[in-house]
Structure 1
Amino acid sequence: MAITFKEVSYIYQPDTPFEFQALQKITTQIKDESFTALIGHTGSGKSTFLQHLDALLKPTSGTVLIGDTAITHETSNKHLRLLRKRVGIVFQFPEKQLFADTVEKDIAFGPENFGSSPEQAAQIARQMLKLVKLPEDILNRSPFELSGGQMRRVAIAGVLALQPEVLVLDEPTAGLDPKGRQEMMHLFAELQKREHLTIVLVTHQMEDVANYADQVIVMEHGKIVKEGTPRYVFADVKWLRDKQLDVPASTEFAFEMQKRGFLFDQLPLTEAELADDIADMFKARGKRNE
């Protein structure tokens, strides 16, 4: 499902001394089945942007088109319940969203709340557990007895149980070690392909952006200041540094190599690309010295 912003602005506490404009005439599109990364400093408007993706917030002005549903400041809340089923949000530290006394009850809560019978919801819970690669024998265990990584997967299974078309990931790997982060990002990539999801990722991990995203939106002071493919956005290292934003480590390394006379057709984004480029350079030098 695609989501389109048309001249969207949002003001917190309008017409008060505390008025603050968090979004300023945002126009962009998150394409169907795309993997979009949203980056920017704290206070850039990312969280406000995310809350428009499932109409938790409605625009002060402009329109958000979620699938075929138009959201404006006049949209009634009573029409939004089913829409929010189509957009699932995995918050930072999603394991903190757990509340039930068993894994099965936690995952089944959403489907039951939207009309599934207890039997249907239990079946969905088993399916979602398999989807996030957890064993079925934990269904009757308390989620709070599980490891941190397992708890996070149970929380994600609970979001997936509503079968959303859009999955919003707000710093989903926060607090994980490098191996855990890699496993979680690989899981999201698999889910996107298998379930044909549209994914929106907020992260400060630029390696994850380089490895998984096909679109990047850079925000600053409530505005989109750059957007495009990761290769386009990360090509201008100086611009990103001026904005005090990070770049993938491989891109940073290649950028410093350029200063020392090494030439790249384009700056690599990943470790694999960097390794291939360096190998090609040494091969070329070897041929010249023959």
Structure 2
Amino acid sequence: MDITFKNVSYTYQPGTPFQGIGLENINVTIPSGSYTALIGHTGSGKSTLLQHLNALLKPTSGVVQIGEREITPETNNKNLKAVRQKVGMVFQFPESQLFESTVQKDIAFGPQNFGVPEAEALERAKEMIELVGLPANVIDKSPFDLSGGQMRRVAIAGVLAMKPEVLVLDEPTAGLDPVGRREMMALFEKLHSEQGMTIVMVTHQMDDVANYADNVIVLEHGKLAKTGAPREIFADPDWLTEKQLGLPTTTQFAQALMRQGFVFDQVPLTEHELAALLAEQLPKKAGIGHE
């Protein structure tokens, strides 16, 4: 299910002294089955665009096409349930939205709200607990007795229990330690690679963009600045600096090596790419950097 923005603009509080432009004339497609990273400095419009993906916000002008459904300024809010079931949203710190007495009930709440019978929703909850890598014995525990990382997995399981085609993630690893962050990113990669789920992720972590995304959208001041594969986006360090964005750690390291005489046909983005290229060149550079 593609999601396409056609000349989409969004204005906050129009006609008031607080009027502000959230998005301006956005034309972009998030392809079905892609792993899309949405990047840009604070205030660039990322969260505003994110909320258009399942019609939490409707465009002030233009059209957002979600699969076969078109969302316009005139779209009736009462008829959006199907869209919101197909596009699951995980906001920052989703664990703050947990409220039920047990993990199973919390995960089952979303499907029941969309009309799934209670017995089926509770069974789905068991499946989702396994899918997100939680131990089976948490099922009857209060979510508030779990660790922060486990609570976040419960919240994500609640979204996945609605069987969305698209999973939208707003800074999904914010506040997690390095181990928790790696585990969370591995979960999303599994959903993408094994289940073919479309992933849309807002992040400030350029390493995650390089390691996982196959499509990148860059926003600046509510406008589309650039879109393309990660290698295209990271090919121009000066442009990224100008847009207040960084480079993946591996790419920064590779650039330092290039200043020492290493030559790369294309600058590596990931650790695996860099290791393979160094394995080819190190024997030839035996006199450089024995450490």
TM over 0.5: yes
Deviations 1:2-41 (A, max 9, x none): 1000110001111222111111100000000100000001
CA distance in 2 between counterparts of 1:18 and 1:175 reads 31
The residue that corresponds to 1:187 in the other structure is 187
TM-score by length of 1: 0.96
The equivalences for 1:59-74 within 5 A come to: 59-74=59-74
Give how far 1:264 is off. 1.1
Q: Do residues 141 (structure 1) and 141 (structure 2) align? A: yes
The equivalences for 1:17-28 within 5 A come to: 17-28=17-28
CA distance in 2 between counterparts of 1:120 and 1:168 reads 24
TM-score by length of 2: 0.95
CA distance in 2 between counterparts of 1:75 and 1:59 reads 10
Q: Which amino acid aligns with 2:164?
A: P
Q: Which blocks of at least 5 consecutive residues in structure 1 are unaligned?
A: none
Query: Percent sequence identity over matched residues?
Result: 62
CA distance in 1 between counterparts of 2:86 and 2:254 reads 41
Deviations 1:113-140 (A, max 9, x none): 1112221111111111111121222111
Q: Which amino acid aligns with 1:105?
A: K
Count of paired positions: 287
SS in 1 for 2:11: strand
SS in 1 for 2:244: coil
SS in 2 for 1:169: strand
SS in 2 for 1:235: coil
SS in 2 for 1:85: helix
Q: Do residues 211 (structure 1) and 218 (structure 2) align? A: no
The residue that corresponds to 1:284 in the other structure is 284
Q: Do residues 89 (structure 1) and 104 (structure 2) align? A: no
Deviations 1:163-196 (A, max 9, x none): 0011001000011111111111011110122332
Q: Which amino acid aligns with 1:29?
A: T
The equivalences for 1:1-290 within 5 A come to: 1-285=1-285
CA distance in 1 between counterparts of 2:209 and 2:196 reads 19
CA distance in 2 between counterparts of 1:96 and 1:58 reads 25
CA distance in 2 between counterparts of 1:239 and 1:56 reads 32
Q: Which blocks of at least 5 consecutive residues in structure 2 are unaligned?
A: 287-291
Does 111-120 or 65-74 show the bigger shift? 111-120
Contact 1:237/1:255, CA 8 A, preserved across alignment? no
CA distance in 2 between counterparts of 1:90 and 1:237 reads 31
SS in 1 for 2:234: helix
Q: Which amino acid aligns with 1:136?
A: A
Give how far 1:203 is off. 0.5
Contact 1:35/1:199, CA 8 A, preserved across alignment? yes
Give how far 1:279 is off. 2.4
Give how far 1:285 is off. 4.0
SS in 1 for 2:200: strand
